[in-house]
Structure 1
């Protein structure tokens, strides 16, 4: 198990707001941290010698060695017990959940779950199981032709596009050295991608931002998300959603992230506090 402690300073949230969320009020000491923005804290701290060739951490004191060169965010299941506040000292524990190896069309895959718990003065404030996937690097996944996602007239829509400056700023804020987000030559020539890749953890924050703006006054109690396809720099996408009921009967919002062709790149459900 890994244990880290950090004070939630205003600066990382202010940097994120100035880049992605200018319509939000400026963060202030003692104010509430929006759900999802906790991902701006506890930045990567792997020494340079501990990085894979692609810039991702080779280990983090929790995972056993995984002999695959590529690592990506695949989704999460998170419960928010109460909002975090700027200025609080937060302890984060990280433990290994499941570790599963599978053979896919593009080669060997290892699915790793990291269980993170955030506590303030011993109180559990946020619990999340983070899903990562390791790939064997035998070439970029072939996306093929995917059908457009089915939505309806009652779905709200928030279009967006991200440029290289924004991706660089998110990498800097989270100390993420994964080269697919800022090194075009690496992304294209080594990974076989068409361009720079949008961070999965950035997409999940943008999804939560969009959902709470469409539901002012509601409190996020939980969030489940699965990433199914990449988003790329300078290419339009749409975050869209509609009201639903979660499996436990709580009010919720189903959210899709659509790529420029209208196919689902990610799917999530936000659970609202009753």
Structure 2
């Protein structure tokens, strides 16, 4: 199963993201390279309303087979940035189902499902990404205690604090056409999903981690990214993004030093217009 869509990378979507989450970044214009990860604001979810599950996530999207498990969560992704996407590029995105595995854990049945995406310009694959989702049974009780790491911030070369409110979560949902109720319906998040509060989007946290690393190493180009989500991040809490000196590893911490996510970043010296590393 696969879908193919073509879209022009106009400047409006990255500007909407920049104005909400990255105000220190420059305004992009046609011909400017899109920062790594910002391709996520293009090709929004496209399932018709009748093809959504009760929680607002796609049931029938032409990519993954349907499942009877009621909860769907983003678990991370592996992305390769072979070449920069430019604002103004005409991009064709192909999304197809990858590996699908069913397992049984302490909380019941789980289905791990990969979505493979390619972003192609004039026949050249610029970005290749594998998105990892997990489908779960309805919450039956307290899960495994989250992992904590008190040394992640204490030993980091830099720490950036992020505080996300409901306005920002709504904007990211609107920007990506993400109708998952856990991001904007408190009753659903608390009473149905058993969460403490509104959930910060995993793909948004992934973007914030990459942005923080990129700003600290402007002379390097991100070539690959590996993100793993490990615990839920909630609205109106202070999140800390903790990185090493080379900005090749970023750990996102929540209150109590809970590890929310990790990002492994492969970067290399940027190449000047003349073709030499600088």
TM-score range, shorter chain: over 0.9
Q: How does 1:97-176 map to 2 (within 5 A)?
A: 97-139=98-140, 142=143, 144=145, 146-151=147-152, 153-176=155-178
1:138 Cα deviation after fit: 3.2
Question: C-alpha distance in 1, partners of 2:20/2:142?
Answer: 30
Q: Paired residue for 1:262?
A: 257
**Contact 2:169–2:200 (Cα < 8 Å) also in 1:** yes
Q: CA deviation at 1:104?
A: 1.3
TM-aligned CA deviation for residue 69 of structure 1: 1.1
Residues of 1 paired with 2:209 and 2:146: CA distance?
24
Which residue of the other structure, out of 222, 235, 243, is the alignment partner of 1:220?
Answer: 222
Partner of 1:187: 189
State the TM-score, normalizing by the size of structure 1.
0.94
Deviation at 1:62, TM superposition (A): 1.4
Which string of whole-angstrom CA distances, capped at 9 and with x for unpartnered residues, describes residues 18-48 of structure 1? 1000000011111111101000000011111
Instruction: State the distance in 2 between where 1:42 and 1:209 align.
Output: 20
Q: Report if aligned partners of 2:146, 2:258 keep a CA contact under 8 Å in 1.
A: no
Aligned partner of residue 19 in structure 2, secondary structure? helix
Structure 1 residue 216, shift from structure 2 partner = 1.6
User: Is the contact made by 1:92 and 1:117 (CA closer than 8 Å) also made in structure 2?
Assistant: yes
How many Å apart are 1:142 and its aligned residue?
Answer: 2.5
Q: Which runs of 4+ in 1 moved over 3 A?
A: 138-141
1:124-178 deviations in Å (ceiling 9; x for gaps): 1001111000111134762525333533535211011100000000000000000
Unmatched tracts of structure 1, length 5 or more: 245-251
1:239-250 correspondence to structure 2 within 5 Å: 239-243=241-245
RMSD: 1.5
1:83 Cα deviation after fit: 1.1
Aligned mates of 2:167, 2:115 — CA distance in 1: 29
Q: Number of aligned pairs?
A: 267
Contact 1:106 1:141 (C-alpha < 8 Å) held by counterparts = no
What do residues 91-123 of structure 1 show as CA deviations (whole Å, max 9, x unaligned)? 111121110111112211100011111100100
